[in-house]
Structures are given as structure tokens and as C-alpha cells.
Amino acid sequence: MSAPAEGTRAIEVQDLHKHFGDHKVLNGIDFHVDAGEVVCVIGPSGSGKSTLLRCVNRLEQPTSGTVLVEGVDVTSPETDLNKIRSRIGMVFQQFNLFPHMSVLRNLTIAQQRVLKRNRGEADGIARANLERVGLGDRADAYPAQLSGGQQQRVAIARALSMEPDMMLFDEPTSALDPELVGDVLDVMRSLASEGMTMMVVTHEMGFAREVGDKLVFMDEGIIIEEGAPRDVLSSPQHQRTQAFLSKVL
């Protein structure tokens, strides 16, 4: 793990715009995440929060603006994108485990291909991370044999096996049956308590209030309001935040 230089932010987004043709999804976002911070992003669907998250590891190509990860410009063509991505763990709404590989292989493939770890070392790290998410006994299972909640925890373990500096979560519990959400949130909670830098797009207001250091409310491609989760959730300043929260809380 390469520690970022003193005073460098984990994620720094400056004047970010993203258009899909005529459709303007992000309209000038300024935003940052400090090392060790847990930032939750909320907002109505279509507000651009997932797109913002996906611009951080350039799964989406920003139309204009700057995205700095540990001080390195992700949008620059000079940047070694694969190296940056290997330091940013990402968890998807639909899990996106590799269905043709065992759970263990899901966790070791990128360690071996990207970090050039040998099989034994990769296996050890993978098994330790499976233990961490409470699935140490499912290493030889295939994703289809697991419940949604278990698959998402494997996906978290897969990202953690790269020993990333930060984690991005794109609505990690939205595709889960309600009774399976708790286990995934528990894993995320313990990650946060260990000091992991996290950016979480979520609809789980309870999680945001309890675990988040900062809460960002987005609508129509801009940040409407941000602050301490307790403040934003209990006394939102902006009318649109109030309207949104009155519907979801």
C-alpha cells in the first residue's frame, strides 16, 4: 500500500461534467474524500451519483473536469489506469462475480494477473479475506451456489484481496432481499471501523447516519448539499433535500 503524500486527498473531483450525448448527467461536481473518511452519496435515481462514483476509477470517461486519486490525475492519458484501478476497490450493485470461477479463483485471478503475486501468496490473502467477510468455508463454491448477500460479501472480499487504498460501493445492497442486507452492511461497518477510505452510493440512510463521516446529497447532476450525516438528515437546509428525505425516511 503506497501511503499518499501528506495533505493529499484520497479522491479530489474538480468541476466534473459528464454528458451522454445531449443528456447531461453531471453538471460541475466539486467533491473530495479524505483518507480514512467514509463518504455516503445519496439522491434520487438519475441524479448522477453512480456516474460520479464510476468516474473515480474511469469506468465512465468524464466529458470535462479533473479527477485526482491520491494526487494522480485519473483522466490524463499519461496515467497508468490499470495501476490506479488496482488500488481502488469497487463493489457493484449486481455483484459481478465471475460465474465460471470458484469463489477462491474470483479472489486470486487479479492478484496473480495484476499484482503478479504467486499462487500460494494469492491463495493465503484470498482465504484471509473470505474469513474477514464470514465466508471462509465457501472458498470452493461457485457464485451461483451462493445467496445474493453471500455473493456481495465475496465481491467485497475480492476487492479487498487487492489490498486497495480505498473502496467504492455502488448501491451495494439495492439488489438484495431485505433480510440479506444486514450481513453486507455489517461487513462494510467493520471495514469503516478499521479505517478504510470509503465512498458509498446508497439508499441506506441508517448506515449513512451511523457510519458516514460526510453525507452528500445530489440531484440533477449537481451536489445540492453536503455535511455531517446527522445534520443533513435531521435538518436539511435545501428544499430539494427536504423533499427527498421526506419521501425516503
Partner 1 sequence: MTKANRQRLRDAVLYALLLGVVVLLAFAADWPVIQENFLNQEVLRTLWPEIITVAAKNTIVYTAISFAGGLVLGVVLALMKLSPVTPYRWLATAWIEFFRGLPALVVIIGFALAVPIAFNWQPPGGLVGAGVLALVIVSSAYMAETIRSGIQAVPPGQVEAAHSLGMSGSWTMVSVVLPQAFRIIIPPLTNEFVLLLKDTSLLAIVGAATDDRELTTFGRDSVSENFNSSPLLAVALLYLVITLPLTRLVAYLEKRSMVKAR
Q: Which of 30, 46, 100, 243 binds partner 1 (CB under 8 A)?
A: 100
Measured from the CB of residue 113, what is the shortest distance to partner 1 in angstroms? Answer: 5
Choose the stretch contacting partner 1; rule: CB under 8 A; options: 107-115, 128-136, 192-200, 201-209: 107-115
CA angle 128, 37, 85 (to 5 degrees): 60
Sketch the per residue contact string, 42 through 61, with partner 1: x for CB under 8 A, - otherwise.
---------------x-x--
Residue from 79, 80, 85, 86 nearest 55 by CA: 85
Helical residues (DSSP H) of the chain, grouped into ranges: 49-56, 81-86, 103-113, 119-132, 148-160, 178-193, 205-211, 229-234, 239-248
Q: Which of 10, 135, 159, 211 binds partner 1 (CB under 8 A)?
A: 159
12 or 170: CB nearest partner 1: 170
Measured from the CB of residue 238, what is the shortest distance to partner 1 in angstroms? Answer: 32
For the chain, give me the number of helices (H) and strands (E)? 9, 10
Cell, residue 197: 477510505
Choose the stretch contacting partner 1; rule: CB under 8 A; options: 78-86, 135-143, 206-214, 226-234: 78-86
Residue 87 carries which DSSP code?
T
Number of residues that bind partner 1 (CB under 8 A): 26
